[in-house]
Amino acid sequence: MMTLPRRLAAAFAFAASTAFLFAPHAAAAKDDPLSREAMYEDPDAPVSGNPKGDVTIVAFLDYNCPYCKKSVGDLKRIVKDDGKIRLIYKEWPILGNASKLASRLALAANYQGKYEAAHDALMRAVNHSSTKAQLVKALGNAGIDTPRLEADLAAHGKDIDRALARNDAQGDIVGFQGAPTYLIGPLVSSTLDYAGFKRAVADARTRQAAQ
């Protein structure tokens, strides 16, 4: 594990080098799954907002994280209000078994086009003692087809686990300190409220215009 100064240095180095990814014709993901391009163009990562937006937010989140639960409403609000933001969800279950279980279920729900409904339900439902039965029930109440959810989890479990492992490796190699972590333009930010997201998006656009 990196020491704190080394991890912070890695994060700042990454932040300083990501502005080019927000150009209109950003490069497609490279073969290296830990490259910066892969983080922004991951075919397994659910995408929301405007798929052709001029600013991309990459959100590394954990369902057990109270700060994630607190900021996710403002994140969804800025994406909706702005209308030109592409939001990439990176499941990052770093806070225990319930977090990993929830992330696996969320990604399984993505196979039926219900990721965001699952994401929102799990943000409300998950705690450290959550069981699979409890979470599946919460997802069913949110409109998720639970028999299909179970079938997709069985059929795609290995792909889901690979996606989670890749997200974890990306967070580690960049040096993220904890959840939530948001990549917005060249910036690496932690917990933000609506005003903070708005400032960060405006700053990303200003930097892009200056290139």
pLDDT in tens, 37-61: 778 888 899 999 999 999 999 999 9
Distance between CA atoms of residues 76 and 209, nearest Å: 25
Mean pLDDT of 139-144: 98
CA 1, chain centre distance (Å): 22
> How buried is residue 180: exposed, middle or buried, by Cβ count under 10 Å (0-12/13-18/19+)?
buried
Q: How far apart are CA 121 and CA 202, in angstroms?
A: 30
Which CATH class for the 46-210 domain? alpha beta
* Matching residue, tokens 């992330």: 103
For residue 79, how far is the Cα from the chain centroid?
14
- What is the pTM for the complete model shown? 0.83
Domain ranges in the chain are 46-210
- How far apart, in Å, are the Cα atoms of 164 and each of 61, 92, 105, 160? 12, 7, 12, 6
Distance CA 120, CA 130 (A): 16
Q: Output the pLDDT for position 31.
A: 62
**pLDDT(3) > 60:** no
Confidence of residue 29 (pLDDT cuts 50, 70, 90): very low
> pLDDT at residue 18 above 60?
no
* Residue in the structure block whose two tokens are 């990993």: 100
pLDDT digits (tens, 9 = 90+) for 171-187: 887 778 899 999 997 77
- CA nearest 86: which of 109, 62, 114, 58? 58
The stretch 168-172 carries a mean pLDDT of 89
Distance of alpha carbon 127 from the chain centroid: 19
Compute the distance between CA of residue 136 and CA of residue 110 in angstroms, rounded to an integer: 14
Distance CA 66, CA 5 (A): 25
The band of 35, judged by pLDDT with boundaries at 50, 70 and 90, is: low
pLDDT of residue 2: 30
Residue 190 is predicted with a pLDDT of 86
| 7, 11, 16, 18: CA torsion to nearest 10 | 140
pLDDT for res 14: 39
